[in-house]
Amino acid sequence: MSCALCELRKEKRFCPAVHGRICAQCCGEQREVTLDCPGECPYLQQAREHEKPRDLGELDRAALFPAVEIGQQFIYEHEHLILGLSFALSKSARASRALADRDLIAALTALATSYQTLVNSSLIYEQPTTNLAHQAIAAEIGNMVKEYREAEQKHVGYARLRDSEVLKALVFLLRMGLGRTSGRPKSRAFVDFLLAQFPEKQSAIASPEEAGSRIIVP
């Protein structure tokens, strides 16, 4: 039997993305490039285990928002905020199987840019986008920030979360996403990482003590 993709080499393994058998070379070359590989594929999992982490130093520095400084103290003190935003991202990814790492990264970049403008100039600026998926992610993040502030109001008596803190949390997650994705067009390594942190229907705000140890610094 020949490979279902190249039709030249002998098939060696079953590919759930094409529901057929393909050769090892096509698997390696087309994985998360032309193939929409599901996270449960054993060959994808094996490849992720052996891939070296991306070197953020090789990326465009501007994409990392270098002006935003994030220390360990911030991560410790705002763990629940980061968890809440992570949960919002996982909720978006769970709602749409078509979302890839680059969608989450694009949405986080746009949101971080808007918050940076707000923090630096007090101007409310939203980057225009016609991408419905990115709009949905941004809306989910916005709802989570609103719920977080409402929870503070209820338990503390006032909303103390600052826009600068939301900016730092967004940039933290953006850097994490850039570090975890393979960079391939259809990569879902960051997506699968987020989904693994939050069982379905769990709320990070409702029960932070259950999710308190899930933050992994990139």
Residue pair 21/13 in contact by the 8 Å Cβ criterion: yes
**Quick one: pLDDT at residue 139?**
94
Q: Could you give the residue ranges of the DSSP H alpha helices within the chain? A: 24-30, 42-50, 72-77, 79-95, 101-121, 132-156, 163-180, 189-197, 208-211
In this structure, what token pair is assigned to residue 55? 């070197």
Tokens of 149: 């502030």
User: Which residues in the chain show pLDDT less than 50?
Assistant: 204, 206-218
Give the sign of the dihedral formed by CA 17, CA 22, CA 28, CA 33. negative
Cβ–Cβ < 8 Å for 5, 18:
yes
Whether 150 and 60 have beta carbons less than 8 Å apart is answered as no
The pLDDT tens digits for 13-23 are 999 999 999 99
Provide the pLDDT for residue 130.
73
Residue with tokens 């992570």: 86
**Concatenated DSSP letters of 5-68:** TTSSSBP-EEETTTTEEE-HHHHHHHBTTTB---TT-HHHHHHHHHSPPP-GGGS-GGGG-TT-
Task: For residues 57 and 171, give the distance between their C-alpha atoms in angstroms, rounded to a whole number.
Answer: 16
Q: 92-115 pLDDT, tens per residue?
A: 999 998 899 999 999 999 999 999
The per-residue pLDDT for 57 is 78
* Virtual torsion, Cα 62, 65, 70, 76, nearest 10 deg: -120
